[in-house]
Structure 1
Amino acid sequence: MMNWEEVAGNSVLLPSQPKALIHFLGGAFVATAPQVTYSWLLEALAAEGYGIIATPFINDLNHSAIAQRALNRFETAYQRLGLFRRYLPIYGLGHSMGCKLHLLINSLYDVNRSGNLLISYNNYPARQAVPFVEQLNSLVEFDLEFTPSPERTYDLVRNDYKKTRTLLIRFQNDTIDQTQELKPILEERHPHLVSYLQLSGNHLTPVNPKEWNWQPGNNFSVLDAFGQWVKQQFYSDITQLKKEVLRWLDPINN
């Protein structure tokens, strides 16, 4: 049985003979403990032979700096674990803000990625993404925005995104997903390397507890029935996500 371990500030789940590595970056407000908030999905991928290096981060306005720190932490763990001793494909897997960070890593730095999987991409300006920023910006002395801004991020991707396979996934009931804005930019950059999927679910589908602890009461009620339905729908959506990720990673065997 594999257990999570901490290596150079990352949460690592490593099969004895990994067939590839996945560098995972999560969403803005659930990225501080990815081994907990994304445990179901990440452990399911590890069970299929993929090594997981999940880098936690705390969100602030400087997304370029967060991306650089995440890359440095990943590379430090990669070296300490001795994974450089044999060739292993490396994939970036991001959810929400984690997608933006992988886009920055793949555009600003000289990295070798076999592919990037971007789930529920989100790139809102600070006034929409962070509470109270719009009120602060109404004052003359304030002009707060992420670095890089959404527009600058798209420029970087348009001009500098390294040639690599990219899978874009959005969910049908995701009201804050911006994949449709990103898709044509990536297709313009590398038209034959971009795949797109729309799946059942919502923005929080990848954010998952390891176990669902809903227990019906002694007398099965309408609330119990609703709880069972939610549980079944949750596992249906995330299981489909896992299958599609695995299919893209290894289309021959999936």
Structure 2
Amino acid sequence: MKPQFRFQPLSFSWVALHPNPKGVVQFIGGAFFGSFPTLFYRYFLRNLFEEGYTIVALPFRFSFRHWPIAISLLREQTVLRREIAAIAQNLGYQHEIYQDKTNYFWVGHSLGCKYLALLEVLDDLKVVEECVADSRSQYQRIADSIQDIPLDERSIKGQPSLLIAPDISDTESAIPQPLAFLAHFLDKVGLGVLPTRKQTQCFVERSRLFNLTALISFDKDTIAGSEDDIKKSPKEREKSDVVWAIAQLKARKFPILQEELPGKHLEPVGIQIGDYVVDLNPLDKFIEPIKYRFLETVAIQFLEEVKRREKVL
């Protein structure tokens, strides 16, 4: 019998339990759409479930303070690992898999990818301290907030990550362009986005982490950028998070797995209606035949490949 794809609320998340999982995919989406992941990312998540993964959809919580949200995801993983195992055992499902942290994957879309980067770098607080040297209070808040978390639970090192259209958001990108003056004001008075884009890039550049990372980008993405941005002027190229991420992560012990697909920034968003995927966004493509959609196939392939890398890391 085909496993039933159905979400249930658990802790602060939504969980779709697979009866015989080969792993757990923890997903966090982008601003707005990520607040209702079980609706807006339903087609994408259903495909991962049908491939054999238990799905944890972590609702996006908007804030200009990104560290507390990232750390809350870390705490949520610890809670869910215990509770999911108990529910699975009661249902007669395979449950031992939930006890091993390396069976957990992280998948992020858009701004959700920034949280995954912060989670990974928590394994190297020295790098964090160096990159926020001009903001000692920021580092101290981070260090204080994880003091009660056991050492072996303080990072996602060893857990593969898939970044989809990564958007390393700053205050300027979080506020509409006509209000750019407000973004500059908020940064000036210390109320803007933290960590900044520059600080986040510093974390990644100085660490030796991110060896189990894959990235999917889209050729018409004007938010996260695309591979073609490498051909643009230095000023325009600098704005492309995709170009930056590929350049940084291709020289790791395991070069980043990366593929660019046709589509725009919101390609992962959509629900299935008949033989089509509808993305609920009239400003995007709105509807697409399933036979022309390759995102889920590539995502599944990448998850399998980074898992193989984890075994030999």
User: Which bracket does the TM-score occupy, shorter chain normalised?
Assistant: 0.7 to 0.9
Structure 2 equivalent of residue 151 of structure 1? 198
Counterparts of 1:192 and 1:86, CA distance in 2: 22
CA RMSD, aligned part only?
A: 2.5
Whole-angstrom CA distance in 2 between matches of 1:152 and 1:76: 29
Q: Does 1:241 align with 2:241?
A: no
**1:64-103 residue CA offsets vs partner (Å, 9 max, x unmatched):** 1111112212221111112544676211100000111111
Match of 1:45, SS? Answer: helix
Structure 1 residues 137 and 212, CA, compared in 2 at 3 Å: closer, same or farther? same
Match of 1:38 among 41, 46, 56: 41
The 8 Å contact of residues 92 and 113 in structure 1, kept in 2 or not, is answered as: no
> Is residue 16 of structure 2 the alignment partner of residue 16 of structure 1?
no
Identity in percent: 25
Q: 1:205 to 1:236 in 2, by over 3 A?
A: farther
Alignment of 1:119 onto 2:164: yes
For 1:162, the equivalent position in structure 2 comes to 209
Instruction: Indicate if the aligned counterparts of 2:211 and 2:253 stay in contact, CA closer than 8 A.
Output: no
8 Å Cα contact 1:38-1:206 kept in structure 2: yes
The amino acid of 1:101's aligned partner reads Y
Aligned counterpart for 1:182 among listed residues 225, 229, 245: 245
**Equivalent in the alignment of 2:304:** 250
1:202 positional shift: 0.7
Give the unaligned 5+ runs of structure 2: 86-96, 123-153, 225-240, 277-284, 306-313
TM-score, length-scaled by structure 2:
0.68
How far apart are residue 139 of structure 1 and its match?
A: 5.0
Deviations 1:210-233 (A, max 9, x none): 43699xxxxxxxxxxxxxx96345
Structure 2 vs 1, CA of residues 236 and 122 (structure 1 numbering), >3 Å: closer, same or farther?
Answer: farther
Q: Is the 8 A contact 2:81 2:99 kept in 1?
A: no
Structure 1 residue 142: Cα displacement? 3.8
User: Are the equivalent residues in 2 in contact too, given 1:124–1:150 (CA < 8 A)?
Assistant: yes
Q: Is the 8 A contact 2:111 2:169 kept in 1?
A: no
Q: Distance in 2 between matches of 1:121 and 1:240?
A: 18
SS in 2 for 1:250: helix
Q: 1:92 aligns to what?
A: 106
Q: Distance in 1 between matches of 2:70 and 2:208?
A: 14
Displacement of 1:136 in angstroms is 2.3
1:2 aligns with 2:5: yes
Q: How far apart are the structure 2 equivalents of 1:87 and 1:155?
A: 27
Name the CA distance, whole Å, in 2 between partners of 1:51 and 1:123.
27
Residues 10-36 of structure 1, C-alpha deviation per residue, up to 9 Å, x if partnerless?
111111011011110100121111111
What's 1:209 paired with?
A: 271
Q: Residue 28 of structure 2 contacts residue 108 of structure 2 at CA under 8 Å; is this kept in 1? A: yes
The aligned residue for residue 107 of structure 1 is 121
Change in 2 beyond 3 A, CA 1:87/1:124: closer
- What is the Cα deviation at residue 138 of structure 1? 5.4
TM-score, normalising length from structure 1?
A: 0.82
**Counterpart Cα distance in 2 of 1:33 and 1:113:** 28
Structure 1 unaligned spans of 5+: 215-228
Query: Do the aligned residues in 1 keep the contact of 2:118 with 2:200 (CA within 8 Å)?
Result: yes
Q: How far 1:158 sits from its partner (Å)? A: 1.9
Matched, 1:231 2:287: yes
Contact 1:15 1:50 in 2 (8 A): yes
Deviations 1:191-242 (A, max 9, x none): 424111000111111011243699xxxxxxxxxxxxxx96345x345x3000
Q: Deviations over 1:136-194 (max 9, x none)?
A: 25559745421100010011112336353211111011111121112222234x24241
Change (3 A) 1:149 1:85: closer
Counterpart position of 2:181:
135
Amino acid at match of 1:148: P
Answering whether residue 262 of structure 2 is matched by residue 200 of structure 1, we say: yes
Bigger helix fraction: 2
- The answer for the alignment partner of 2:142 in structure 1 is none
Would the alpha carbon gap of residues 139 and 244 (structure 1) be closer, same or farther in structure 2, given more than 3 Å must change? Answer: closer
Residue 172 (str. 1) matches residue 216 (str. 2): no
